[in-house]
Amino acid sequence: MKAKLPKGMGGGPSNMQGMLKQAQKMQEDMAALREDLDNREYEVKAGGGVVTVRINGQLKVLSIEIDPEIVDPDDTETLADILTAGINEAITKVNTTNEEEMGKITGSFNLGMPGLF
C-alpha cells in the first residue's frame, strides 16, 4: 500500500534542496535574532516604583535603583522581598520576549517536535 503525501511533501531533490535552504535561512534568522535579544536591555519597576531593575537579554542584572524612602534598617525583609520580586519579574519579561520573538521565526515549524529549537 502506498501512502499519499500532501502536495509539496516528499518527492525529488529540488524539493529537498528547497527545504534545506529554508531551514538554513531560519537558522541564520534565529542566530541574528538571538544576538539582538541578548543585547536588549529591560527595565522593570517593583514595589510601586520604589525599586527599578535593569537587566539584559542574557539575564545579567545591570543595575538596581532603590528609592531611599523605602530603606528601613528595621525592615530589611520588605526591601529584600521587593528586590526579589523585581528581579524575578525582569527575568520573566526577558524569557517571555525571547519566546515570542523566536516564535515569530519558527512559527509552527517545531510543533510536535519538542526540543527542536
Q: Where are the domains of the chain?
A: 31-106
Average pLDDT over residues 38-64: 96
* Position 15, amino acid: N
Say how many C-beta atoms besides its own lie within 10 A of residue 109's C-beta: 14
Q: pLDDT class for 117, splitting at 50, 70, 90?
A: very low
Domain 31-106 in this protein, CATH class: alpha beta
Q: How confident is the model at residue 6 (pLDDT cuts 50, 70, 90)?
A: low
Average pLDDT, the chain: 86
Nine-digit cell at 89? 519579574
d(CA 109, CA 29): 14
Q: In angstroms, rounded to a whole number, what is the distance separating the alpha carbons of residues 106 and 56?
A: 23
pTM: 0.69
